[in-house]
């Protein structure tokens, strides 16, 4: 089998427990899983992997000498995408591996397109509400702080009307880049639509969250563009903390929105929270 798959980076585990330990550390693109193994069988390993958010989308191809319908159906019910009968034909195995890798890559790309803002490459509205609600639920259950910011680019319509949509797009892309440069891997940043964005910070204090927002605001104000026109960009930010009485992330967003309105109703170019 290893010789057959010499074009790929292949790792081998001799039993189910070792396989699970390895997959937890190094997420593979595809798994060839023997049904008959010492300890837990392939069906059980597959069920465990499909029950984990981090591994549920990895395509699993079963290898087995069992040719009865019940065994094959059991493999698909466990979450396998294919069932290869032993003794296997090398060319067939290779063809199935290549096909499922291509299918999985296509699915990953489609999922990326469905959850990513095409202009900036950051999370879109759909992905934000999925990720933010998960962060919110974790914050409530594990008792860590969560701060949410709703962000608007000040007078963005005027920028579009005065300089054109190409410049407007450059402003949005540059703004997103500035924010990303100031966020950590665990922070959430998304474009809700138009010039409206949101940021979620966790495991931090109010003072640290506010300071990070101020750094972003000041960095945006200093943005420079390669175009011949001189564009001065500022942002307004509304901040809110998740509270014990909040049942959904929506209520936190509402309070942040109210603070954003206060920021935009006064001098703009400020963080209110």
Residue 131 and residue 108 share a domain: no
Same domain, yes or no: 257 and 190: yes
Q: Residue 87 pLDDT > 70, yes or no?
A: yes
Alpha helices in 79-122 (DSSP H): 90-115
Number of other residues whose CB lies within 10 A of the CB of residue 84: 17
In a domain, residue 153? The reply is: yes
Query: What would the two tokens of residue 198 be?
Result: 């949101």
Residues 166 and 209 in one domain: yes
CATH number of the domain where residue 240 is located: 3.30.70.270
Model pTM score: 0.69
Q: How far is CA 187 from CA 129, 174, 200, in A?
A: 14, 19, 6
Cβ atoms of 230 and 159 within 8 Å: the answer is no
Q: What pLDDT sits at residue 1?
A: 66
2 in a structural domain: no
Domain boundary among 87, 113, 139: 113
The reply to whether 56 and 103 lie within a common domain is: yes
Burial of 238 (0-12, 13-18, 19+ CB in 10 A): buried
Distance of alpha carbon 89 from alpha carbon 241, whole angstroms: 59
Which residues form the domain of 203?
125-272
Alpha-carbon separation of residue 76 from 10, 87, 113, 139, 194 (angstroms) = 23, 20, 28, 36, 43
Task: Verify that 206 and 166 share a domain, yes or no.
Answer: yes
| 248, part of any domain | yes
Regarding whether 90 and 138 lie in a shared domain, the answer is no
Q: Which residues pair with 198 in a beta bridge?
A: 150, 190
Choose between 10 and 172: higher pLDDT: 172
Check pLDDT > 80 for residue 53. Answer: no
Separation of alpha carbons 32 and 63, rounded Å:
7
User: Where residue 2 falls among pLDDT bands split at 50, 70, 90?
Assistant: low
d(CA 62, CA 66): 11
């Amino acid at each position: 089998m290893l010789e057959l798959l010499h074009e790929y980076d292949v790792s081998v585990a001799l039993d189910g427990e070792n396989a699970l330990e390895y997959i937890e550390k190094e997420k593979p693109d595809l798994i060839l899983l023997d049904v008959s193994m010492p300890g837990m069988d392939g069906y059980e390993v597959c069920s465990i992997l499909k029950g984990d958010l981090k591994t549920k989308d990895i395509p699993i191809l079963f290898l087995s000498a069992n040719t009865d319908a019940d065994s094959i159906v059991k493999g698909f019910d466990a979450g396998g995408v294919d069932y290869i009968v032993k003794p296997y034909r090398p060319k067939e195995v290779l063809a199935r591996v290549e096909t499922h890798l291509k299918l999985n890559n296509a699915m990953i790309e489609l999922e990326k397109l469905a959850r990513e803002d095409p202009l900036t490459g950051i999370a879109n509205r759909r992905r934000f509400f999925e990720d933010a609600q998960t962060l919110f639920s974790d914050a409530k259950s594990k008792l860590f702080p969560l701060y949410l910011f709703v962000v608007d680019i000040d007078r963005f319509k005027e920028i579009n009307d005065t300089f054109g949509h190409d410049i407007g797009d450059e402003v949005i892309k540059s703004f997103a880049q500035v924010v990303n440069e100031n966020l950590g891997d665990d922070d959430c940043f998304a474009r809700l639509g138009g010039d409206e964005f949101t940021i979620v910070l966790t495991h931090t204090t109010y003072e640290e969250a506010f300071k990070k927002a101020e750094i972003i605001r000041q960095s945006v104000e200093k943005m420079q563009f390669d175009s011949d026109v001189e564009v001065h960009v500022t942002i307004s930010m509304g901040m809110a903390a998740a509270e014990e009485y909040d049942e959904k992330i929506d209520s936190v967003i509402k309070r942040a929105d109210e603070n954003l309105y206060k920021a935009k109703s006064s001098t703009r170019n400020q963080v209110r929270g």
